[in-house]
Amino acid sequence: MGIRLDKPWEPLTAETVDALPAQLGVFHVADPEGTVLTVGYAGALDLFGMRTALQREIDRHGGAATQFRYEFTSNYRSRWDELLMLHIHDHGELPAHQADEAARVGRLSPQD
């Protein structure tokens, strides 16, 4: 089983986000070139789960964020940490607004 979040990108709009189930999970938000702007999770404190978390990303990035991909999981905390570590492995650093998380998470060297 692969450990990367590599599902197809979907357009990040209020309509697509509203159509999602209010479930827990993890996601990537990216710009039109596919550069990941946020490695995020929808947790139990997000009132409508994935919908609430992604709406927050729309508010954070405005028009810069145009697409997202996601995965529903109740293990959103450990899966989020795994995705953060994978991002550091692949890109050397986290998106700027998440830089503080780098001190908290560990490191992975996945078999590609």
Nearer to another protein, 12 or 42 (CB): 42
DSSP three-state, residue 17: helix
State the residues that interact with another protein by CB under 8 A. 3, 43-45, 73-79, 81-82, 85, 104-111
User: Smallest distance, Å, CB 108 to another protein?
Assistant: 5
Residue 16 vs 74, nearer CB to another protein: 74
Look at residue 27 and give its three-state secondary structure.
strand
- Show the 3-state SS of 32-75: CCCCEEEEEEECCCCCCHHHHHHHHHHHHHHHHCCEEEEEECCC
CB of 31 to another protein, least distance (A): 27
Find the shortest distance in angstroms from Cβ 104 to another protein.
Answer: 7
